[in-house]
Amino acid sequence: MRLGGGLLVALAAAAAGAGWWLLAGLVLAAIAAGVTARVPEPGDAQVDRVVVAVARLAEVTVYAIAFGAYVFPAHRELAAAAFAVVVTGAGFAGLKIPTIVVRIAGVLLLLAGLVLVVVCVAVPPVGRADGLQPPDFAGVLVAAVLMLPFLRPGGREGAGRRVLFLAAVAVLAAFAALYQLGAVRLGLSLTSLRDLLSAADADSLQPLLTVVAVVATVVPALAAGAGVRARAGVPGLAGIAVAAVAAYFLPALPVLVVAGLVTVIELLLGVRARRYSEQRE
């Protein structure tokens, strides 16, 4: 479920820096997610707990920004801050969505994504102002960092297959968006997926995109709120307040960068925890 909420804003941010090489960044992020799929969670040291809590809060802020931009565009900042407090706070308080509901929602999001891809590829783009430029390795690396948090699987059972599946979905969605809008136009708008439907002459699907945005942000934000409580305890409430302030004042790009970098640190701490466990054995 992370992927759906992340793609709402991360595709535009990554395309702004990498252009068509966003696809290479996605592949790089998928490789990193696959290689580290079986890395355990960081340990219970104070630094480990703080890093994991910050990683979940950064993801929450991304979902909040996406929710505000797609669902309440006229009051984007206020809606984003309220989302961070209400939805993440509910997850922190222990509200859980039944597993079967989460799975059904995941299937519906997948179907909606496939419909979007088919519509965008089937309708020829009106024009394309940009093409494939020489590779910008820094842009590719940044794109990979931005996408990494949302390509990581939720568990380690069958993690490799799930990473491969998530990567395929992300690449298809990115290709459809780049094909229909071009990299420049895709990278210009926070709500570029709405522009994508308009460009594909599919404005009738805009209400469906709103529903997708709600489901794709609320479900992972609830889970992230539970993760903050597990790692930070009551002080995590202060973190939720910080996330709300960040969602209100900050644009998506710096929040995505923080989420990506903290995810890298989280993975490194997981590697350290595994080595420590192996040494003890």
Percent of the chain with pLDDT over 70: 93
Write down the pLDDT at residue 121. 86
Q: What mean pLDDT comes out for the span 175-199?
A: 88
Percent of the chain with pLDDT over 90: 57
Write down the pLDDT at residue 201. 85
Give 63-74 pLDDT, tens digit per residue: 999 999 999 999
Predicted TM-score of the model (pTM)? 0.93
Q: What mean pLDDT comes out for the span 252-278?
A: 87
User: Who's near 252: CB < 8 A, 6+ residues apart?
Assistant: 9, 10, 12, 13, 62, 65, 66, 190
CA 15 to chain centre: 14
pLDDT at residue 113 tops 80? yes
Tokens standing for 132? 């494939």
Domain architecture of the chain: domains with CATH: 2-276 (1.20.1740.10)
Phi-psi region of 120 (alpha: psi -120 to 50; beta: other; left: phi over 0): alpha
Write down the pLDDT at residue 53. 95
Model confidence band, residue 258 (pLDDT cutoffs 50, 70, 90):
very high
Write down the pLDDT at residue 279. 58
Q: What mean pLDDT comes out for the span 59-88?
A: 96
Model confidence band, residue 32 (pLDDT cutoffs 50, 70, 90):
very high
Query: Is 261 within 8 Å of 145 (Cβ atoms)?
Result: yes
pLDDT at residue 278 tops 60? no
Q: What mean pLDDT comes out for the span 226-241?
A: 93
Model confidence band, residue 77 (pLDDT cutoffs 50, 70, 90):
very high
Give 139-174 pLDDT, tens digit per residue: 999 999 999 999 987 766 677 788 888 899 999 999
Tokens standing for 88? 């993440």
Cα angle: 95, vertex 96, 99; to 5 degrees: 170
Which is nearest to 182 in space by CA: 129, 121, 119? 129
Q: What mean pLDDT comes out for the span 89-104?
A: 90
pLDDT at residue 195 tops 80? yes
Model confidence band, residue 130 (pLDDT cutoffs 50, 70, 90):
low
Q: HEC states along the chain?
A: CHHHHHHHHHHHHHHHHHHHHHHHHHHHHHHHHHHCCCCCCCCCCHHHHHHHHHHHHHHHHHHHHHHHHHHCHHHHHHHHHHHHHHHHHHHHHCCCCCHHHHHHHHHHHHHHHHHHHHHHHHCCCCCCCCCCCCCCHHHHHHHHHHHHHHHCCCCCCCHHHHHHHHHHHHHHHHHHHHHHHHHHHHHHCCCHHHHHHHHCCCHHHHHHHHHHHHHHHHHHHHHHHHHHHHHHCCCHHHHHHHHHHHHHHCCHHHHHHHHHHHHHHHHHHHHHHHHHHHHHC
Summary mean pLDDT of the chain: 89
Query: Is 141 within 8 Å of 31 (Cβ atoms)?
Result: no
Q: What mean pLDDT comes out for the span 271-275?
A: 75
**Which amino acid, residue 217?**
T
Q: What mean pLDDT comes out for the span 28-43?
A: 88
